[in-house]
């Protein structure tokens, strides 16, 4: 499916999701090189490196710290050649309130979709060359900044429109310094329903204001 990145992102967001959970399948965008158009694919959240023993291992690799992508065995090869973007209109972060946790929806103040930096891989059991590949990904994270610092020490690495190709297309240069130095869009937090705490819920009520839930 060859498309421009912008149209691929639009397609990815066409099917509305309200509560994406680990190990579920979601759209991501990848690009082999500058000569090939970006591609949209449906990948499973939770990266499986080639040496993984079971698909269950992916549940431990939902996020990858940007500072150590080059040195961690699970991510180093993907960082060199298999980077991707994960389109989203926001994400859920939690604030501890005594024994309870309050969910917040983090999104851009202007309503424009976000692009998270990610890595992808493909996996199948050793000795099973006849089986289909399982395509998986992980979301790259960075130190939190702005309004997020009071909720969680980490946040997704948001990729600005000007840096999309810098992240997607392998050139041999390390794209991380530019991405980390880029100005982040203005973000806002909205307290939402506890329904997001159950992966079986995936409807507009998940993002309803907490006082209305």
The kind and range of the H/E element at 13 are helix 5-14
Share of the chain above pLDDT 70, in %: 92
Please give the Cα distance from 10 to 153 (Å, whole number): 30
20 sits in which H/E element: none
Neighbours of 71 (CB within 10 A): 9
Higher-confidence position of 13 and 101: 101
Q: Kindly calculate the radius of gyration of the chain based on its CA atoms and give it in whole angstroms.
A: 17
Taking residues 95-112, report their average pLDDT: 91
Sheet holding 187-191, edge to edge: 91-97, 100-108, 187-191
CATH code given to domain 5-90+113-183: 3.90.1680.10
- In the predicted structure, residue 127 carries a pLDDT above the cut 80: no
């Amino acid at each position: 499916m060859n498309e421009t990145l912008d149209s691929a992102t639009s397609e990815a967001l066409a099917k509305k999701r309200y509560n994406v959970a680990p190990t579920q399948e979601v759209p991501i965008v990848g690009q082999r090189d500058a000569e090939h158009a970006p591609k949209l694919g449906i990948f499973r959240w939770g990266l499986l490196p080639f040496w993984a023993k079971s698909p269950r291992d992916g549940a431990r690799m939902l996020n990858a710290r940007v500072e150590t992508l080059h040195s961690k065995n699970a991510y180093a090869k993907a960082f060199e050649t298999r980077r991707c973007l994960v389109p989203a209109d926001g994400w859920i972060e939690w604030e501890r309130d005594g024994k309870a946790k309050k969910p917040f929806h983090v999104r851009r103040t202007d309503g424009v979709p976000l692009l998270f930096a990610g890595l992808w891989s493909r996996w199948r059991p050793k000795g099973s060359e006849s089986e289909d590949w399982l395509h998986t990904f992980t979301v790259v994270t960075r130190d939190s900044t702005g309004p997020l610092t009071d909720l969680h020490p980490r946040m997704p690495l948001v990729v600005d429109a000007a840096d999309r190709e810098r992240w997607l297309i392998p050139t041999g240069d390390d794209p991380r310094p530019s991405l980390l130095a880029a100005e982040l869009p203005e973000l806002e937090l909205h307290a939402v329903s506890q329904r997001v705490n159950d992966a079986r819920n995936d409807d507009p009520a998940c993002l309803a204001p907490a006082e209305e839930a």
